């Protein structure tokens, strides 16, 4: 073989080897990335080639699958009572990325989760039968919250204080997840939902932190009792009315000018929602102690998964004392979700211990065998049992004869706290109405903790209050949760 032929042969061999190396690289190293690419239609074809697994509420599937009439996507997602459960399920769409539980458990629901595969599935590389997601949601509590919120814009959460099970997650206005499932019609529905000024796709229960107003006074009171600043909720405080914010000439007044807020006890200050008491209390404690207590309840936690990741509720840092005073009444830069404020009431109701909140009980395979159980949730002590008992007593006073009387439930012991948070520059917009509470059945001992925020309603500005708008929603939820 002459030199020219030998060189050409070697060069050709090198080209073949390079091609083999490249093919191996693409197939084994880049293949996964190509398969997972959102623009790879084969993924959608595979996902919707068979019915999906289901999300279970109260022993009943609130999701399903239906055959399509045209196209290469053989099935589409369906929903039972879709708007009622949208804040729980989210949506699974042929055109858009799934959300909420549909998104978190995509692999389980479409059968690609490795835990679902049998030996035969593994050998044949076949997709397994899909699994199911069993939620902790109580359909009665969910519906009570949804109906009570009605056409108001807001969110609500209910939690079992002893188990951490989330019994309701409601956000209004809601939307129909089924409008987004079919690729042929999802585009127009998506445009309508994303341009709606009321933002129905926003989960206000878990992902809309807003100023919590006077409901945050429970956190400040807990800090004061735990710190020893006051020995009991019935010890008088040193609280002038009005209270001049430190370093300013601005007087902080109370909504009710006739309320007995001068040097009021914590019980009286919660009963009448005295701003002067808690503003001065926050300053006297100092921002670090208030922040530490807020963080024990869950504020500033940027990884709160239930398993949907909740947006962070915030207690700020590096403030002027006048700003610290405003945080004492749930203003300045303090924000909270209904989930966060339900956690505050749940910890107080449970003797000072907070059980990790969760809205999925189990995930199972198609035959019902449990793959993972979430009901053995951990807990941590937030405040002492003595502090919790005193706060329970003071919260009961709020509901029995204070600012939260609209939350009274016959046959149950109820404690709560109202809140009306300023909205807009110089409170130029309609305030937010809050209510957080716990209830315990006098006959069965069943317990529930709830939090409600009404962001906007048809009520006149003068009628906006936690007791007027949010407390009736909380009452409906507690009645549903506590009924025998």
Catalytic residues: 214
The residues, any chain, with a CB within 8 Å of residue 212's CB and separated by 6 or more, are 330, 334, 335, 336, 340, 341, 419, 421, 434
Burial label for 318, CB within 10 Å (0-12, 13-18, 19+), is exposed
In this structure, what DSSP letter does residue 26 have?
Answer: H
Cα–Cα distance for residue pair 382/231, rounded to 1 Å: 17
Yes or no: say if 435 and 454 are a contact pair by the CB < 8 Å rule: no
The 10 Å Cβ neighbour count of residue 9 is 11
DSSP for 236-295 reads: BP---SSEEPTTSSPEE--SSTTS--TT-BHHHHHHHT-HHHHHHHHHHH-HHHHHHHHH
Yes or no: say if 291 and 332 are a contact pair by the CB < 8 Å rule: no
Cα–Cα distance for residue pair 89/134, rounded to 1 Å: 11
Cα–Cα distance for residue pair 190/187, rounded to 1 Å: 5
């Amino acid at each position: 073989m002459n030199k020219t032929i030998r060189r050409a042969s070697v060069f050709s061999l090198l080209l073949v080897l390079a091609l083999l190396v490249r093919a191996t690289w693409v197939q084994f190293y880049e293949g996964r990335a190509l398969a997972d690419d959102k623009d790879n239609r084969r993924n959608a074809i595979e996902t919707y080639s068979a019915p999906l697994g289901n999300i279970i509420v109260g022993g009943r599937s609130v999701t399903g699958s239906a055959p399509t009439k045209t196209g290469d996507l053989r099935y589409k997602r369906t929903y039972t009572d879709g708007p009622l459960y949208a804040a729980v399920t989210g949506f699974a769409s042929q055109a858009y990325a799934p959300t909420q539980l549909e998104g978190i458990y995509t692999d389980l629901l479409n059968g690609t989760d490795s835990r679902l595969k049998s030996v035969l599935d593994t050998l044949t590389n076949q997709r397994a039968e899909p699994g199911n997601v069993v939620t902790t949601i109580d359909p009665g509590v969910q519906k009570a919250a949804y109906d009570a919120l009605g056409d108001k814009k807001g969110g609500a959460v209910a939690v079992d204080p002893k188990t951490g099970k989330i019994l309701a997650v409601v956000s209004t206005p809601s939307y129909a997840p089924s409008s987004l499932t079919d690729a042929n019609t999802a585009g127009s529905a998506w445009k309508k939902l994303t341009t709606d000024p009321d933002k129905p796709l926003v989960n206000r229960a878990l992902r809309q932190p807003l100023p919590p107003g006077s409901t945050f006074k429970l956190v400040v009171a807990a800090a004061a009792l735990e710190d020893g600043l006051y020995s009991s909720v019935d010890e008088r405080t040193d609280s002038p009315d009005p209270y001049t914010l430190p370093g300013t000439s601005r007087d902080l007044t109370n909504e009710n000018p006739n309320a007995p807020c001068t040097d009021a006890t914590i019980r009286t200050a919660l009963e009448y929602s005295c701003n002067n008491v808690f503003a001065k209390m926050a300053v006297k404690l100092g921002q670090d102690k208030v922040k530490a207590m807020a963080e024990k309840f869950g504020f500033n936690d940027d990884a709160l998964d239930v398993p949907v990741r909740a947006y962070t509720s915030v207690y700020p840092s590096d403030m002027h004392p006048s700003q610290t005073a405003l945080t004492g009444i749930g203003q300045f830069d303090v924000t909270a979700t209904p989930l966060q404020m339900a956690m505050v009431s749940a910890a107080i109701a449970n003797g000072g211990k907070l059980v990790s909140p969760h809205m999925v009980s189990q995930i199972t395979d198609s035959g019902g065998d449990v793959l993972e159980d979430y009901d053995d949730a951990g807990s941590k002590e937030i405040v002492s049992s003595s502090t919790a008992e005193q706060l329970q007593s003071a919260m009961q006073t709020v509901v029995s004869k204070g600012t939260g009387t609209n939350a009274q439930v016959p046959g149950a012991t109820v404690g709560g706290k109202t809140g009306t948070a300023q909205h807009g520059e110089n409170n130029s917009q309609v305030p937010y109405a809050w209510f957080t509470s716990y209830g315990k059945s006098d006959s069965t001992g069943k317990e529930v903790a709830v939090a409600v925020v009404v962001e906007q309603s048809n009520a006149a500005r003068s009628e906006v209050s936690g007791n007027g708008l949010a407390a009736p929603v909380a009452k409906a939820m507690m009645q549903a949760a506590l009924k025998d």
